[in-house]
Amino acid sequence: MLETATNVRELSFGDAIKEAIAEEMRRDPSVILMGEDVAEAGTTFKVLTGLVDEFGKDRIIDTPISEAGFSGLGVGAAMAGLRPIVDIMFGDFLTIIMDQMVNQAAKIHYMSGGKWKVPMVFRLTMGATRRSAAQHSQSLHAWPSHIPGLKVVVPSTPYDAKGLFKAAVRDDNPVVIFEHKISYRKVKGPVPEDDYIVPLGVADVKRKGRDITIIATSSMVQTALAGAHLLEGVGIDAEVVDPRTMWPLDEETLINSVKKTSRCIIMDEGYGRYGVAGELAATVAERAFYDLDAPVTRLCAMHVPIPFSPSLEDTTVPNERDVVALAQKLCKRT
């Protein structure tokens, strides 16, 4: 736990991920990383800069622009004794690797009656407001969350990112990590130098409160915390809960919080329709309905292709003012 750790420094979200990968590669020679421009270039986001100097080009492997091709190669390599980390750069390219992830990686353990394992990590990014327009800005973490056989990780802090990433590498299943690309530099926080993991399937209460629960994922955790801070000014004490993994899902922590506060907002940067927020809202409604004093309400990205122009794009993602307005409405304290 962070509270008891020694050798804690402040790291950026991106550096925490790099540290996780480096530590796991030092620990286990079967861990490799492959993707487009991951070696000398250190990825297009410069998150992996320097790793190739330590581990060489045999383990930090530049691939052709062939996302489906090297994802499939990663599946086979995982079955045959390696622990590949497959770097997909933009989460939007999920569309290109879907067959290898969904029909192959996710199903092989089950289809083989438990005989073959696929211990691999798919790294993807998510998040808008980078002026990258409709094909480089989506948050598609709902898609793999729909598929049995996959685990899906959406870290929001540097501490969680390092610990969850290390847990993902050690997991014997295909794990899909969505890293919020705006967070790489913008989000900083305390990270121990020590070897630690954050287990997959354990939610974290990021802020304690008694009036309303905000269940938030990835980038929306920071927005929820900013909103909660503003809500203090109007006398609303918000609790912010981060599930940290979409699957496995720690329902108990979410439900316990909602039972305590009796109100619930779900915040997610993915699309609201048929998405992660809908699933979380249904979970709360099914298990905490009689403890609720207001409808469970979603706050998600607008249901539009992400536009390019800043004046348009910025309207598509929920912000802390949206949190305040919605919480006031649900708590009837306007």
Partner 1 sequence: MTPPPAANPASKKTSADAAIGRDRLIHMYRQMVAIRLFEERVNDLYTRALMPGLAHLYIGEEAIACGICEVLRRDDYITSTHRGHGHCLAKGASPDRMFAELLGKEAGYCKGKGGSMHIADPDTGNLGANAIVGGSAGIATGAAFAAKYLKTGQVAVCFFGEGALGQGLLYEELNLAQLWKLPVIFVCENNGYNEYTHFSESTAGDVPARAAAFGMAHETIDGQNVRDVYTAATTLIDRARRGEGPAFLQCITYRYHGHHVGDIARAYYRPKTEEQEWVTERDPITLHGEWLMANGVADRAALDAIQAELITQMDAAVEFAINSPYPDASKVTQDIYA
Active site members:
136
As measured in angstroms, the least distance from the Cβ of 281 to partner 1 is 24
The b/e string for 269-297 (b: 16+ C-beta within 10 A; e otherwise) is bbbbeebbbbbbbebbeebbeeebeeebb
Q: Is 77 in the site for partner 1 (CB under 8 A)?
A: yes
Q: Is 123 in the site for partner 1 (CB under 8 A)?
A: no
Judging by beta carbons within 10 Å of its beta carbon (0-12, 13-18, 19+), is residue 206 exposed, middle or buried? buried
As measured in angstroms, the least distance from the Cβ of 68 to partner 1 is 5
Residue 85: CB atoms within 10 A of its CB come to 28
Q: Which amino acid is at 165?
A: F
Residue 111: CB atoms within 10 A of its CB come to 13
Tell me the window of 14-22, 104-112, 154-162, 235-243 that interacts with partner 1 (CB under 8 A).
104-112
Instruction: Taking the CA atoms of 307, 312, 316 and 320 in sequence, report the sign of the dihedral they define.
Output: positive
Q: Is 95 in the site for partner 1 (CB under 8 A)?
A: no
Q: Is 201 in the site for partner 1 (CB under 8 A)?
A: no
Nearest partner of 48 among 26, 7, 16, judged by Cα: 16
How far is Cα 321 from Cα 249, in angstroms, rounded to an integer? Answer: 28
Identify which of residues 99 and 314 has a Cβ nearer to partner 1 in the complex: 99
Identify which of residues 173 and 219 has a Cβ nearer to partner 1 in the complex: 173
Q: Which of 15, 92, 109, 183 binds partner 1 (CB under 8 A)?
A: 109
Tell me the window of 123-131, 147-155, 222-230, 296-304 that interacts with partner 1 (CB under 8 A).
147-155
Q: Which amino acid is at 207?
A: R
Q: Is 117 in the site for partner 1 (CB under 8 A)?
A: yes
Strands 212-216 and 238-242: what pairing?
parallel
Q: Is 104 in the site for partner 1 (CB under 8 A)?
A: yes
Per the DSSP assignment, residues forming a β-bridge with 12 are: 188
Q: Is 149 in the site for partner 1 (CB under 8 A)?
A: yes
Q: Which of 17, 25, 31, 32 binds partner 1 (CB under 8 A)?
A: 32
Contacts with partner 1 in 1-30 (CB under 8 A)?
A: 30
How far is Cα 308 from Cα 313, in angstroms, rounded to an integer? Answer: 6
Q: Is 42 in the site for partner 1 (CB under 8 A)?
A: no
Q: Which of 12, 43, 71, 223 binds partner 1 (CB under 8 A)?
A: 71
Tell me the window of 42-50, 56-64, 252-260, 303-311 that interacts with partner 1 (CB under 8 A).
56-64
Name the region of 114 (left: φ>0; alpha: ψ -120 to 50; beta: rest).
left
How far is Cα 12 from Cα 16, in angstroms, rounded to an integer? Answer: 6
As measured in angstroms, the least distance from the Cβ of 72 to partner 1 is 2
The b/e string for 152-167 (b: 16+ C-beta within 10 A; e otherwise) is bbbbbbbbbbbbbbbb
Identify which of residues 102 and 300 has a Cβ nearer to partner 1 in the complex: 102
As measured in angstroms, the least distance from the Cβ of 287 to partner 1 is 20
Q: Is 70 in the site for partner 1 (CB under 8 A)?
A: yes
In 3-state terms, what secondary structure has residue 107?
A: helix
Strands 245-247 and 151-153: what pairing?
antiparallel
As measured in angstroms, the least distance from the Cβ of 180 to partner 1 is 25
Identify which of residues 30 and 132 has a Cβ nearer to partner 1 in the complex: 30
Q: Is 249 in the site for partner 1 (CB under 8 A)?
A: no
As measured in angstroms, the least distance from the Cβ of 28 to partner 1 is 13
Site residues (CB under 8 A) for partner 1?
Answer: 30, 32, 58, 63-64, 66, 68-82, 84, 99-100, 103-104, 108-119, 148-149, 151, 172-173
